[in-house]
Structure 1
């Protein structure tokens, strides 16, 4: 049997009471709360983390990093393996959102007990019949000119930033708007000059 000999045969600590069986979990990017009045519970909130925009390796997805991390064994010092960097908004020249440029992205992990499926729909602000809209906003990802591809994430229409953080000159991961490429998509109804939207839906 491998592992720490001191842990063999030791009874684990009792955890907190778990959530009901079933349901669905999703991350609300850009907000520290979960929708109210829909049977949705906050699991935890934090700040978005991802691979630095100037690195070729690392992960393509983002994670909501809690504010109270736990650690196991570690080697002292920076070991230059992979870095989880803060994710920052870059809303370009969008007048209503530009005040958030270079601010760190808040996030919340939400649990829905009564609905078991999560679907993020790009280019829509509403959910289809029979689905519940959890939130909606803008479809964002890394800039096409930067190293590393990231997942498309749905950023809340009413974003929050993590208080007290604004790392303009530091390496980071970035959320940029996406626009449609009309060669292959019908324009109209798509429009290459408009930022793509998104909706997160549960059922």
Structure 2
């Protein structure tokens, strides 16, 4: 092999130069540099030949795809479910959105009054519908899926972009969504631009409510942002 032959040649040079007293010889900086070069060459040339360990093969990242029951191609689905959150008028309780599995393991019936987990509904109609977003989702419940992308190390949600920066791959893109500004506080999430409904029920059951977010100039500098525009988003992996 070329790599093996190269390494033998370097060793031969070192041995010829120092003979049997090599262990007693004080190495010069150039000598040490030659040895370090050999170590680096052997390490990098053999790296591709080394099989992946089980831990390396299992490397991956997870993210939630809001508004969809499935995951993008070449991605494993961990589970699909329903988006859940706090009731829109509650002053206390959780403020984050949850992707609740469709096969829950339910606890015991309780009489406590802290009913703080509800399903989420789209509150998107003709008056606030982002361009390109489905128009038939008003008052429909919101699905979600937890996806896993193998071989990636990082997940990044970017608000204000529909594409990823160089070196990153877009898993999906869409629109920034949250609760209405007069309701209880809730996280921003990136809703898939091709969102769908959870099921065929169409009754208005309230709960956690999802609205598109628009940008407002002032402390938010315009340009580069633009006043009263819908905020785009994308989920990127690397």
Counterpart for residue 162 of structure 1: 198
Q: Secondary structure at the match of 2:136?
A: helix
Q: 5 Å matches for 1:53-72?
A: 53-72=88-107
Task: State yes or no: 1:136 paired with 2:189.
Answer: no
Tell me how far 1:173 sits from its aligned partner.
0.5
Tell me how far 1:167 sits from its aligned partner.
3.8
Q: Please list every run of 5 or more consecutive structure 2 residues that lacks an aligned counterpart in the other structure.
A: 1-56
State whether residues 40 and 111 of structure 1, in contact with CA within 8 Å, keep that contact through their aligned partners in structure 2.
yes
Tell me the distance in 2 between the aligned counterparts of 1:89 and 1:134: 22
Q: 5 Å matches for 1:95-134?
A: 96-134=133-171
State whether residues 58 and 82 of structure 1, in contact with CA within 8 Å, keep that contact through their aligned partners in structure 2.
no
Tell me the distance in 2 between the aligned counterparts of 1:165 and 1:106: 13
Tell me the distance in 1 between the aligned counterparts of 2:175 and 2:206: 23
Which structure has the greater CA radius of gyration?
2
Tell me how far 1:77 sits from its aligned partner.
4.8
- Pick the structure with more strand per residue: 1
Task: State yes or no: 1:81 paired with 2:118.
Answer: no
With a CA cutoff of 8 Å and minimum separation of 6, indicate the structure with the bigger relative contact order.
1
Q: Secondary structure at the match of 1:45?
A: strand
Q: How many residues align?
A: 180
Tell me how far 1:188 sits from its aligned partner.
2.9
State whether residues 46 and 108 of structure 1, in contact with CA within 8 Å, keep that contact through their aligned partners in structure 2.
yes
